[in-house]
Amino acid sequence: MRKRALTEYELGFIEAMIDGEGTICLARNFCKTHIAIFRPEVSIFNTNLAILNKIKKFTGRGNIIIFKSELYTHGVSYTLRFSPNDIRWLLPQLKLVIKEHKRKIMLRVLKVLTLRKQYCRWRKEYKLKELNMLYKLFYKK
């Protein structure tokens, strides 16, 4: 894991890749007990593995996933996906242009998700209500 802050060049490169070929999203799944589970995601998609390896080298974080599909004419596609802890480290440093709104909401979501221990039922319901509200804000058109 990288401890030092990113340089301006590295930040600019990562910002451009996330704005251009990346995504910031909040996935919502439901488990067997019909409770919503929220999972923050920041991913960068590309067919050039060297570019994603360069970003991974800059940050020292993330996992590269390989997609091989017959439907794509590009052949093999790669995704650099960051974990929630990586997102907590990376997003506050970035100044995005196109996806700035999503970045700000994601930072709010990550603050709510850090409240792990929920001893009271009403606290858990409040947390879910707040996450549902942020989810609606995130995908507001």
DSSP string, 3-26: -SPPPHHHHHHHHHHHHHHEEEEE
Q: Answer yes or no: is pLDDT of 12 > 50.
A: yes
Average pLDDT over residues 104-133: 68
**Which of these ranges, 18-22, 124-128, 134-138, has the smallest mean pLDDT?**
124-128
Give the residue with greater pLDDT, 128 vs 48. Answer: 48
Q: What is the pTM of this model?
A: 0.77
Sequence ranges of the domains in the chain: 8-138
CATH top-level class of 8-138: alpha beta
Q: What is the pLDDT of residue 3?
A: 65
Residues 31-73 have pLDDT tens digits of 666 666 778 889 999 989 999 999 999 999 999 999 877 766 6
Kind and range of the H or E element at 108?
helix 100-113
Strands (E), 4-96: 22-30, 36-46, 63-68, 76-82
Query: Would you say 11 and 94 are in contact if contact means Cβ atoms under 8 Å apart?
Result: yes
Q: Answer yes or no: is pLDDT of 139 > 70.
A: yes
Give the residue with greater pLDDT, 121 vs 10. Answer: 10
Q: What is the percent of the chain with per-residue pLDDT over 70, rounded to a whole number?
A: 80
Q: Answer yes or no: is pLDDT of 121 > 50.
A: no
CA dihedral 46, 47, 50, 52 (to 10 degrees): 20
